[in-house]
Amino acid sequence: MPLTVSNNSAVASASYYLDKNQKALQMSIKRLASGKRIISPNDDPGTLSVVMKLNAAVNRLAGAKNNVQNGVSFVEIQDGMLETIGRIVGRMAELKGMATQDPMKSSQDVESYNNEFVDLQKQMFDISKSTFNGVSLFANYATKADGSVDTSTQTLFKGSTSADNTIDIFTSSEGSSGTKVSLYKSALLSALTIDAANLSQAQVGASAWGGGTTTVFGLFRDNSTALTGNYAEISLNTTGLSMGVFEQAVANIAYLRAQTGGGMSRLNFAAESLSSMETNMRAAIGRVEDVDIAAESANLAKYSILTQASAAMVAQANSTNDVALMLLR
């Protein structure tokens, strides 16, 4: 029987499987090294598109969380300032009692108390100008549509919404079209303006904040302007300045703190919701994108063995050519 040598199909077949197994082995190594099931777009174009959209949504949620955290910081600082104002008003009431209700105090003692009383008024006015990252914590004046301050419109405590200053904190990944929490910039100076003739009234009607009349007292003092009109000075001996004025001021500050607390509560719940959404979104991304370590480790072992076996078969197939050549010698 004649010996014929044509093409070595065994080598071609073994080389094909060697190449295939090597590519599968390399893919397993890449997946295990990266932790991702999708290495390139051609691995799973549809899933890659979904993952990109989910990642974009996660990034938007992270931005919303940052906005909410800034809002929480704003109201926390605002509440801290209001707490300080409450303590100052309490101290002013204490000074009023010591100076005017104790006959044992000398005129010099009263003067000393009054000096502190005046300084506390200045301190409260300075607090009313406090800011957080350049944003006013309190609304002494209304804000125009362009964001500038309208010094012709003083913001009133419990006033109309048109004069109230608010800050909108967007709490969803949809931006301005999504949900939001409106934070109030407390009308502090108006809350500290008390009508001694009508203490049951929480605000001074439509009149401006500040003292300057026989019954309306502003428990603050602007140290940078002439003390006239709405900035008229008051002292411990000012006629009509009763303990009821301080009690009403404390009640007004308590109302502002409650208002701030409502915004803080909403922001905290919004932060929890965003965190939950982000966690679930990342879990969804992991389910479609992350590699199954156990399964891929098994694939790595499988293709490592197959690659070695394929390489051995290529060598074995190549050896058949040598046998044929030996017969020709």
d(CA 214, CA 293): 81
Residue 300 within any structural domain of the chain: no
Q: What pLDDT does 85 receive?
A: 94
The CATH number covering residue 148 comes to: 1.20.1330.10
Give the Cβ contact number of residue 25 at 10 Å: 20
Q: What pLDDT does 79 receive?
A: 92
Whole-model pTM over 0.75: no
Q: Is the pLDDT of residue 95 over 80?
A: yes
Report helix, strand or coil for 325: helix
Residue 327 within any structural domain of the chain: no
Residue 192 within any structural domain of the chain: yes
Q: Are 110 and 157 in contact (CB under 8 A)?
A: no
The count of domains in the chain is 1
With 0-12 / 13-18 / 19 or more C-beta atoms within 10 angstroms meaning exposed / middle / buried, residue 173 is buried
Indicate the Cα dihedral angle 41, 47, 53, 54, nearest 10°.
Answer: -130
51-90 residue pLDDT tens: 888 888 888 888 888 889 999 999 999 999 999 999 999 9
Packed helices 9-34 and 293-328: angle between N→C axes, nearest 10 degrees: 160
Q: What pLDDT does 109 receive?
A: 86
Phi, psi (degrees; rounded to nearest 5) at 107? -65, -35
Residue 168 within any structural domain of the chain: yes
Range of the domain at 70: 53-285
Residue 82 within any structural domain of the chain: yes
256-283 residue pLDDT tens: 899 888 888 988 998 898 889 888 988 8
180-218 residue pLDDT tens: 888 888 888 888 888 777 775 555 444 556 555 567 778
Residue 75 within any structural domain of the chain: yes
Question: Where is pLDDT greater, at 298 or 177?
Answer: 298
Q: Are 139 and 185 in contact (CB under 8 A)?
A: yes
Residue 304 within any structural domain of the chain: no
Residue 296 within any structural domain of the chain: no
